[in-house]
Amino acid sequence: MTRYLVWGASWLFILLVLVTPPAMVLTEALKDGLAASLATLSDPDAQSAIWLTLRVSVVAVVLNTIFGILAAWVLVKFRFPGRQFLQILVELPLSISPVVSGLVWLLLFGAQGWFGPLLERWNIHIAFAVPGIILATLFVTLPYVVRTVMPVMEVQGRDAEEAAVLAGAGFWQVLWHVTLPGVRGALLSGVLLTTARALGEFGAVSVVSGHIPGETETMPLHIENLYNGYQSVAAFTMAALLAFMAMSAVLLRSAPDWIARLQEKKA
Amino acid sequence: MTLSRLAFFRAGGSALPGYRLSLTLTLAWTGFFIILPLSTLLVYPWQGGPAAMLSALHDSRMLAALWTSFSCAGIAAACNIPFGFLLAWALARGHLPGRRLADALIDLPLALPTAVSGITLATLYGPHGWLGAVLAEFGISVSYNKTGIVLALMFVGLPFVVRAVEPVLRNLPQELEEAAHLLGARPWQVFMRVIAAPVLPALITGFGLAFARGIGEYGSVIFIAGNQPFKSEIAPLLIVVRLQEFDYPGATAIALVLLCVSLLSLALIGGVRRRFALWSEPA
């Protein structure tokens, strides 16, 4: 009896709170039919927003993956004073408001910022331009690869690496042939989480972007712009596309499991 | 420090190669991306002198916005405790039908970009939205006031509570409940003493994580909140407003308060975790 009550209440809650939002996105996007919503995506400002989001995400994912591997390696495989402090620093962006994560870059590179006037003289634009968007995205996505890779590296221990060193392998060889193959799954997971966050980042990017349609508007910012301009179909179509991209990145993390299960079935 | 210990640290306490290179690159990266930007928050508010900082902290609109953010995040996190516990129980112990689908749906608020959640919740709970229309029948107006903020923060914070509690429930030995039963405990006694007591630290952790996320949340809240100063304006939005007014010290003062409170709540979680480490670690 109690069991059925728990089941009913749980699914009712899930349906009302978690299933309605994505259902609403699709209904609103398709309100005027599929053709009408697809047409909104061919708008030049929409296209520019999609490309900017993809470009920024690729840069953020590549750089933070390289950094994440090195940081996890140094934090797990070595012992040095200040190691725990460094680990806290690396995870800090997770507990900072997105708006604050954008603000700090304005305080550095904005017109009133520390380095703003200097950059002005050299005619370099970071705040309210694409470099600022990239910096803010790099900041908010910095912890993900480190956090997912570290625990697996920890379990791995150092025996295999030490054996490789004794056999004459150098740093890059050890990293590439011994350490990374062992953390493949976690690395993929971290990269995909970084991707999802980079695609969808709104608050931090909003502060540094300057909101110039066709130039510094990413997909989330363009969604805001369309929604506030009462272009509901266009806003929700873009929202559906962005949600699809971010959610597939999150779901793809289980891809290795699916592949393993398929292979098991075949065998 | 003796010479041998110095040599130990120089090599990073390990015979593996690449210590200096990877440490240097990691320090450079964190230096530029974490330490340099965050140091602006500590220094910038004081650049106009302590008097300017104090007057910035006395701004009544700022205090109202901070109060809105803290109270709504607290209420939302508290409301998430019973729902989060229910879902965690159903997933870990309740043999919920469709468990794998439910499990994936729990993480939806984390995967959904905040701008998407924002416009979706605003439409859903708006006066003509699917849920907003139903609530309006009961005379509850959600959009453009604090109820809307709380609902948006509940949506965003739910996964934190579920994911904190679920592993603890899974690792809790079922024999304890059976033993308590056999010793004559009533069902509510079993619940309070055998289940709720060890789960409490996890609930506090979930509450703290949801609260810390809630006070900084921006994208999923601003569309539903209505953003009236002194009423439904959240602190992160006021930072944006201050920046648009080119009041950088004002914006930074709010940011500093937000940062301190979220770090404080995370430090408290850390304390709770260490104090009650018994059941919180996976077996």
Q: With b meaning 16 or more CB within 10 Å and e meaning fewer, what string describes A196-225?
A: bbbbbbbbbbbbbbbeebeebbbbbbbbbb
Give the nearest chain B residue to A13 (CA atoms).
B83
pLDDT band at B186 (very low <50, low <70, confident <90, very high): confident
Percent of chain A with pLDDT over 90: 62
pLDDT band at A26 (very low <50, low <70, confident <90, very high): very high
What pLDDT, on a 0 to 100 scale, did the predictor assign at position B280? 46
Q: Any CB–CB contact under 8 A between B264 and chain A?
A: no
pLDDT in tens, B215-256: 999 999 999 988 888 888 999 999 999 999 888 888 898 999
pLDDT band at B3 (very low <50, low <70, confident <90, very high): low
Q: Any CB–CB contact under 8 A between B95 and chain A?
A: yes
Q: Sketch out chain B's domains with CATH numbers.
A: 59-280 (1.10.3720.10)
pLDDT in tens, B43-69: 887 777 777 777 777 788 999 999 999
What pLDDT, on a 0 to 100 scale, did the predictor assign at position B173? 82
Q: Any CB–CB contact under 8 A between A110 and chain B?
A: yes
The CA distance from B86 to A221, in Å, is: 36
Q: Which residues of A touch B116 (CB under 8 A)?
A: 25, 200, 220, 223, 239, 242-243
Surface of A (189-218) touching B: CB under 8 A: 196, 199-203, 206-207
The CA distance from A261 to A264, in Å, is: 5
- Closest listed residue to residue A193, CA positions, set A257, A258, A248: A248
Interface test with A, best of B34, B40, B80 (most A CBs within 10 A): B34
The CA distance from A251 to B101, in Å, is: 12
pLDDT in tens, B127-168: 888 998 888 888 888 877 889 999 999 999 999 999 999 988
The domain limits of chain A are: 41-253
pLDDT in tens, A166-176: 888 888 888 89
Supply the pTM of this predicted model.
0.90
Task: Using alpha carbons only, give the angle B48, B54, B60 rounded to the nearest 5 degrees.
Answer: 120
Q: Which residues of A touch B255 (CB under 8 A)?
A: 97, 99-100, 103-104
Q: Over chain B, what is the mean pLDDT?
A: 86
Cα–Cα separations (whole angstroms), residue A24 to A48, A169, A201, B260: 26, 55, 21, 37
Q: Any CB–CB contact under 8 A between A163 and chain B?
A: no
Lowest mean pLDDT among A56-65, A142-151, B38-47, B120-129: B38-47
What pLDDT, on a 0 to 100 scale, did the predictor assign at position A47? 94
The CA distance from B117 to B158, in Å, is: 14
Architecture of domain A41-253: Orthogonal Bundle (1.10)
ipTM of the complex: 0.90
The CA distance from B108 to B158, in Å, is: 10
Lowest mean pLDDT among A8-17, A59-68, B24-33, B165-174: B165-174
Task: Using alpha carbons only, give the angle B158, A101, A54 rounded to the nearest 5 degrees.
Answer: 85
Tokens of A109: 């590179």
Tokens of A112: 């009133």
The CA distance from A177 to A198, in Å, is: 29
Using CB atoms, pick whichever of A79, A105, A162 lies closest to residue B15.
Answer: A162
Cα–Cα separations (whole angstroms), residue A138 to A49, A71, A186, A212: 18, 15, 20, 21
CA B197 distance to own-chain centroid: 22
| Interchain proximity B102–A11, CB inside 8 Å | yes
